[in-house]
Amino acid sequence: MTDQTSEPAVASAPRKPLRSAQLTFRQTVLLCEAFTMFFATLLGFGLVQGGSLDAPAGLIIGGGLALTVLMGWSAGAQSKSWGVWLGWGMQVPLLAAGVVDTAITIMGAVFLVLWIAALRIGGRIDRERAERDVAFEERLAAQEREAAEPEAGESPA
């Protein structure tokens, strides 16, 4: 036997669908934002302890940790239909944290750009994957039709 008999079986085997690139990018951005919020919380607590920020330390720690957990949870919720809108909402806390330190707002602006890039580039990758899968299926169907034609056209001799 030759290896030619196994090639069509491999080509026609069902492929596991790839995970959405946009979903992966969105989750990554939100998890990185959660880590940034955690460190921004530590920065705020340090500023309170140093006397540079006049705010209750409990509010800074409690609010910062709550936002950290919320951002981490929102990364997991990205597979839901409303996950994108939640992700847009999670861009606000880091941007608004400029009242504590402007460096946090700069990081928020960077994450906003990354969020927009995740939506646009991830969406484009997903569309290109879908187009590639359709072309693959069409090519596979054409090969199967070509393989079936000589058998139908053969005459007994």
Output the pLDDT for position 53.
87
Mean pLDDT over residues 89-96, rounded?
93
Per-residue pLDDT tens over the stretch 97-114: 888 888 999 999 999 999
Q: Report how far residue 85's alpha carbon sits from residue 101's, in angstroms, rounded to the nearest whole number.
A: 26
How many other C-beta atoms are found inside a 10 Å radius of the C-beta of residue 49? 11
Residue 152 has pLDDT above 70, yes or no: no
Q: What's the pLDDT tens digit per position in 72-85?
A: 999 999 999 999 99
Residue found by looking up tokens 């085997």 in the block: 13
Query: What is the number of alpha carbons within 13 Å of residue 138 lying toward its C-beta?
Result: 6
Q: What is the pTM of this model?
A: 0.77
Q: How far is 13 from 7, CA to CA, in rounded Å?
A: 10
Specify whether the CB–CB gap between 68 and 43 falls below 8 A.
no
Cα–Cα–Cα angle for 112, 113, 115, rounded to 5 degrees? 60
Q: What is the pLDDT of residues 25-47, one digit of tens each?
A: 999 999 999 999 999 999 999 99
Mean pLDDT for all residues in the chain: 87
